[in-house]
Structure 1
Amino acid sequence: MITIKSTYSGELRTENIHIKSQEKVITDAPTDNNGRGEAFSPTDLVCASLCSCMMTIMGIRAQKNDISLEGLEADVTKVMASSPRKISKIKIEFRLKKTNATDSQIAMLKDAALTCPVALSLNPDIKQDVSFNF
């Protein structure tokens, strides 16, 4: 079953439609790679996917353990290598001002994040620098 329908719109832009929900994501090449930079670049989406997957898996574990993650935020930084052009590092800084999680539950949440499906799917050459400020 098809998950996403993608179309090249020209001028280094793509349109991607999630079949089930009909939600749309546009990508543009970044300005440092001949693009307009008016939308997420494909490599931006890789970084956002890693962060979103980590948050989702932590959320699943939190729900099962009656832990509040409300207000969980993250800053994501993408670092590109030039030769060849590829993502060399993804830095994610999680912040949560208030939680009812115990120290052992926080350790469980961190492990869940670091072993999420996207984290495990990325090339091991991509450094995943993740910090948790809970």
Structure 2
Amino acid sequence: MATIQSKYLGELRTTAQHLASGNNVITDAPLDNNGRGEAFSPSDLVCAALGSCMMTIMGIVASRNNIAIEGMEIETTKIMAAEPRRIAEVVLTFKMPANDYTAKEKAMLENAARTCPVALSLHPEIKQTVSFIY
């Protein structure tokens, strides 16, 4: 059974519907690639998916180990390569909520982020630069 139903809307826009929930996402080509830049680009969604996956897996580890991470944030920067046009690097800076994390907790959380399914699924040529601010 399908997970997502997508449609091309014209003018470099698409819509994707998550079939189980009915939630929708619209994409638009970026300004530097003939689009209007009025929504996430497909490559923006790849970067957002990476950050969301990292936080989700960290959340699983945190829950299992009674570590409070609610309020954690990520600033994500996408760096594109020109030839061929592709994501060259994703820079993710985690801002961790105030907590007295032990070295072991930090190691567990950081390992969870770096080994999430999306991180492991991206092509190895896409550089993933990940940092944590505690």
Under TM normalisation by the shorter chain, which class is it? over 0.9
Is 2:21 the counterpart of 1:13? no
> CA contact under 8 A between 2:69 and 2:97: conserved in structure 1?
no
SS of the residue corresponding to residue 132 of structure 2 reads strand
Deviation, structure 1 residue 102: 1.7
Partner of 2:41: 41
Could you give the per-residue CA deviations for residues 23-81 of structure 1, whole angstroms, max 9, x where no partner exists?
Answer: 00000000000001100000000000000000000000000111100110110000000
CA distance, structure 2, for counterparts of residue 109 and residue 53 of structure 1: 13
For 1:1-134, what aligned pairs fall within 5 Å after superposition? 1-134=1-134
**CA RMSD, Structure 1 to Structure 2 (Å):** 0.7
> CA contact under 8 A between 1:67 and 1:100: conserved in structure 2?
no
Could you give the per-residue CA deviations for residues 69-125 of structure 1, whole angstroms, max 9, x where no partner exists?
Answer: 011011000000000000000000001131243210110110010000000000000
Residue 121 of structure 1 aligns with an amino acid whose one-letter code is S
Deviation, structure 1 residue 129: 0.3
CA distance, structure 1, for counterparts of residue 107 and residue 78 of structure 2: 25
**Once structures 1 and 2 are overlaid, which stretch shifts more, 94-103 or 43-52?**
94-103
> CA contact under 8 A between 2:70 and 2:97: conserved in structure 1?
no
What's the TM-score, normalizing by structure 1? 0.98
Residue 48 of structure 2 aligns with an amino acid whose one-letter code is A
> CA contact under 8 A between 1:68 and 1:101: conserved in structure 2?
no
Q: Which runs of 5+ in 2 are unaligned?
A: none
Residue 59 of structure 2 aligns with an amino acid whose one-letter code is G
CA distance, structure 1, for counterparts of residue 46 and residue 112 of structure 2: 19
> CA contact under 8 A between 1:13 and 1:26: conserved in structure 2?
yes
SS of the residue corresponding to residue 90 of structure 1 reads strand
Residue 104 of structure 1 aligns with an amino acid whose one-letter code is K
